[in-house]
Structure 1
Amino acid sequence: TIYLVTPRFGARESLALKYARPVEVLQRIPLRDYDDLTYRVGEIKSLLMLRNCAHILQIREFFYDFHNIANSPLALVTELMTGEDLDKWMKARAGQAGGVTELTASYIARSLLEAVRTMHSRGIVHRDLKVSNMRITVSCRVVVIALQKKNYTNDTHSHRNAAVAVCACS
């Protein structure tokens, strides 16, 4: 479930709250080893590492019960991402005279490549990158919004399955 967070105290941006019940979280995060908390906390840290990329949905805050992480609900606060998904946006323009200009297409491609470069530089490999997992705003900001299917790599380049569903749209 995604909720709109009403800004307070002079906040300048709208936020979204994704709330997942423990069962939903456990289904999306395959936890083979429940002996430590670092696996799940590490995933959230990885998502937070992507905060500085303008083309990846920005996470502002997260909440869970550190002492009871196995049964704790997870709440992620993200920027509110408005706009169309890139798939619908491109299809709508394909039918128009002129379609998508080369300049616009190159800007979109460059934006997505920057997002992928940022993910890879932080050891995150997205496994389901597609235009329906991206939004384009009225100001033409292109943003990857769905990060639920990805692998994390470590220094030896082995992959670990991971999945925290992160998606906030209006």
Structure 2
Amino acid sequence: MSHSPRQATCRRSGLPVALKIYFLSRVPANVLHMIKREIQIHSQMVHKHVLRLYGAFIDGDERVVLVEEYASNGDLFNVQQRLGGRMLPQQVADAVLRPFLEAVSYLHSRGVIHRDIKPENVLFTQSWRLVLADFGVSINVSQERAVTRAGTEGYMAPEVERCPIKSEPSENKDQPQLAYSTAVDIWAVGVLAYELMVGIPPAIKPLGAKPCASTAVDGFAQAEMSAAGLHFPASVPPAARSFIAAALAPDPADRPTAAQLLSHPWLAAEAVAQRQDAAAEAHQDAAGEVVMTAAAQVRKASSTVEAAAAAARVRRASSTVEAVAAARVRRASSTVEAATMPEPAQDDAAAEALAAEQGRARRAAESGEPAPLPAPPARQNAAHSAVIPATAAAAPGSRGGSGTLKLQTALSIT
């Protein structure tokens, strides 16, 4: 058959790819038909949650090679094991079931049944985008009748379990009572959801199934496959249990479609919770921004206050310096003025002498007598230190008056 996909690099684009290889020498005729059908179906499925098939070719006469998208983060089974074997209900709903059901709904809308849904066929790309892989047993029921027991044990729906394994592509195509629909994938979705949250697949086994020739109704009645007896840990919420019970309905007609499961209250509730968490985070971010803005404003205001206080201190210091300088200038000016002023005593004596002379002159004028001459200033020379007063006696027999004045004048000149 085929080995696990091998990683390779496209020479033209440089992109990493996965190579799924079938060895023709080991492939029986009916499987060769399935390989052709796989390539035909997979090449037509283009969806963001479906693994891309880039191309296929025959390598000589030995191998058929499918070139697929490379999912570097592995499959869901390994992710589950790394998480301890179980996943939280919210993780299952948001990270797995919602994108997975989008892919399944896309397939079913085109008449394609995957027929091998299990954790190993759910892959994750480098960006953790979920993709549905492996269309090896897929079938398009709009082109042919699905009447073969195909898939993986434990994930098969009751109507698949009762069908025979055929060795030729045309076997059982004429038995419409064996035909099943896209509802078999819904059953596998229920098994997958249970396993992810509980850690093991549900222990559901067909009991007393009749031969494949039995009618569909008889087959469901005898299979006694139901989710009614399943045991859930307390961590699985009632809405998730309701989701699983609906998917594991024994009668395929009672199972919801993939599109209806996307609207199930569990997924809707988880979506609401996710939106609320996102809104809460956004609110916290907004509150944080408000706090940071307020803090910045406080810092700015504090800086403004500090700057104003510093400016006030500078102004006060400048005023003090100016006052001190002005006082010093005033004191210096006073000192200069004091140093340049005349002696007040000498000026006062001269003023008094002048006033006395003016007074005598006025009195003499009023009495009709000639005003007396002012006394000459004292001679500082020692040789002429003798001063004859203005009232010196006249010669005997002479009269005062002009003679006296002449004498004074002559003497004064001498």
TM-score exceeds 0.5: yes
In the alignment, structure 1 residue 80 sits paired with structure 2 residue 70: yes
SS in 2 for 1:108: helix
Alignment partner of 1:60 out of 46, 54, 65? 54
Aligned length: 146
The structure-2 alpha-carbon separation of the partners of 1:22 and 1:108, relative to structure 1 and needing over 3 Å to count, comes to same
CA distance in 2, matches of 1:110, 1:125: 18
CA distance in 2, matches of 1:58, 1:83: 15
CA distance in 2, matches of 1:48, 1:82: 21
Aligned to 1:26: 28
CA distance in 2, matches of 1:73, 1:95: 37
TM-score (norm 1): 0.67
Amino acid at match of 1:8: R
Alignment partner of 1:114 out of 102, 125, 138? 102
Bigger CA radius of gyration: 2
Aligned to 1:166: none
**CA shift for structure 1 position 6:** 2.2
Unmatched segments (≥5 aa) in structure 1:
32-38, 66-70, 164-170
Does the Cα contact within 8 Å between 1:15 and 1:78 map onto a contact in 2?
Answer: yes
CA RMSD of aligned residues (A): 3.3
The structure-2 alpha-carbon separation of the partners of 1:138 and 1:100, relative to structure 1 and needing over 3 Å to count, comes to farther
Amino acid at match of 1:61: G
State percent identity of aligned pairs: 26
The structure-2 alpha-carbon separation of the partners of 1:47 and 1:29, relative to structure 1 and needing over 3 Å to count, comes to same
Which one scores higher on RCO, CA 8 angstroms, separation ≥ 6? Answer: 1
The structure-2 alpha-carbon separation of the partners of 1:27 and 1:80, relative to structure 1 and needing over 3 Å to count, comes to farther
SS in 1 for 2:28: helix
CA distance in 1, matches of 2:38, 2:74: 28
Alignment partner of 1:8 out of 7, 11, 16? 11
The structure-2 alpha-carbon separation of the partners of 1:42 and 1:137, relative to structure 1 and needing over 3 Å to count, comes to closer
The structure-2 alpha-carbon separation of the partners of 1:138 and 1:42, relative to structure 1 and needing over 3 Å to count, comes to closer
Q: Structure 1, residues 15-51: CA drift from partner, whole Å, max 9, x if none?
A: 12222221344366264xxxxxxx865542211011x
Aligned to 1:145: 133
Does the Cα contact within 8 Å between 1:152 and 1:160 map onto a contact in 2?
Answer: no
**CA shift for structure 1 position 61:** 0.8
The structure-2 alpha-carbon separation of the partners of 1:15 and 1:100, relative to structure 1 and needing over 3 Å to count, comes to same
Does the Cα contact within 8 Å between 2:37 and 2:139 map onto a contact in 1?
Answer: no
**CA shift for structure 1 position 127:** 1.5
Aligned to 2:42: 47
CA distance in 1, matches of 2:62, 2:111: 27
Aligned to 1:159: 146
The structure-2 alpha-carbon separation of the partners of 1:160 and 1:59, relative to structure 1 and needing over 3 Å to count, comes to farther
Aligned to 2:80: 90
TM-score (norm 2): 0.31
